[in-house]
């Protein structure tokens, strides 16, 4: 069975000294908690990858991740970062398809698919984000929205490729807003996603694919969310920038 997973997404936050202080505080609290059953993935800005990797070296179940990549491995793409570059810096995980990339930079499902293939080719494990807008939720087309994202970005993968995927369900309307989906809605969507995987790749792949929930997760609501049958952890945004808040979420999952 898969490990429980907590992913920190720092987004475009923190200067270098603050980043070092945050990691030091997380590691200090981690030593006391010793949550060996929980995998912690720190998805940090590109410029901090090496610093974070060095600071977490030798720490059990703590990994460094990136927040984005280019869909090509090399080329004349000024300012872009490839998966081979990320791997050479020790990156283990990669966020793909986050709603902020979709909304702010017009990234499509097919572009996400290309990035996922680059990630897998370079032995980086993709964390694929999916989720509906508020409009889709109100119009009751949220299953269709997530269904399309998964079909177009993931379901051309073969079984071996898909087995490397982590899925993060994040309702777009709940990210950074303080609004969290109802527990029944979270479980309903996670079950829907798991059943889709089962129908496509079989029972074993379905049962072992981690499906995380993201969207204003805090230590106050984490216990109820993590108690849901098909939730295997969380993708944490704002709360991951505070060591106390983040490690309280980790503690709840443990």
Active site residues per annotation:
98, 170
β-pairing, 125-130 with 38-43?
A: unpaired
User: Which tokens belong to 249?
Assistant: 């979420």
Helix (H, G, I), strand (E, B) or coil at 230: coil
- Please count the CA atoms within 13 angstroms of the CA of 56 that sit on its side-chain side: 28
Q: What is the DSSP letter of 219?
A: T
User: What is the Cα–Cα distance from 211 to 209, expressed in whole angstroms?
Assistant: 6
User: What is the Cα–Cα distance from 162 to 244, expressed in whole angstroms?
Assistant: 34
Beta-bridge mates of residue 236: 8
117, 133, 216, 9: CA torsion to nearest 10 = 20
Give the other-Cβ count within 10 Å of 225's Cβ: 24
Helix (H, G, I), strand (E, B) or coil at 137: helix
Give the other-Cβ count within 10 Å of 123's Cβ: 12
Enumerate long-range contacts of 135-142, CB under 8 Å, 24 or more apart: 137/171, 137/173, 142/171, 142/189
Q: Taking a C-beta distance cutoff of 8 angstroms, is the pair 211, 235 a contact?
A: no
Tokens 């808040």 sit on residue: 245
């Amino acid at each position: 069975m898969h490990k429980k997973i907590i992913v920190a997404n720092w987004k475009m936050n923190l200067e270098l000294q603050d980043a070092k202080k945050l990691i030091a505080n997380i590691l200090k609290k981690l030593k006391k908690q010793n949550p060996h059953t929980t995998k912690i993935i720190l998805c940090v800005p590109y410029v901090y990858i090496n610093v974070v990797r060095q600071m977490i070296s030798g720490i059990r179940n703590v990994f460094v991740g990136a927040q984005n990549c280019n869909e090509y491995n090399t080329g004349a793409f000024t300012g872009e970062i490839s998966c081979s570059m990320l791997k050479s810096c020790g990156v283990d995980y990669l966020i793909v398809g986050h709603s902020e990339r979709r909304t702010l930079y017009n990234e499509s499902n097919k572009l996400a698919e290309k990035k996922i293939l680059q990630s897998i080719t370079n032995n980086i494990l993709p964390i694929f984000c999916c989720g509906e807008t508020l409009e889709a939720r109100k119009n009751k087309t949220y299953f269709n929205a997530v269904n399309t994202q998964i079909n177009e970005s993931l379901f051309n993968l073969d079984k071996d490729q898909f087995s490397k995927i982590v899925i993060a369900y994040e309702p777009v309307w709940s990210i950074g807003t303080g609004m969290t989906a109802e527990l029944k809605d979270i479980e309903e969507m996670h079950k829907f996603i798991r059943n889709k995987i089962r129908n496509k790749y079989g029972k074993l792949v379905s049962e072992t694919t981690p499906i995380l929930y993201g969207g204003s997760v805090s230590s106050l609501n984490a216990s109820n969310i993590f108690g849901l049958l098909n939730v295997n952890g969380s993708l944490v945004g704002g709360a991951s920038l505070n060591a106390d808040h983040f490690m309280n979420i980790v503690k709840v999952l443990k």
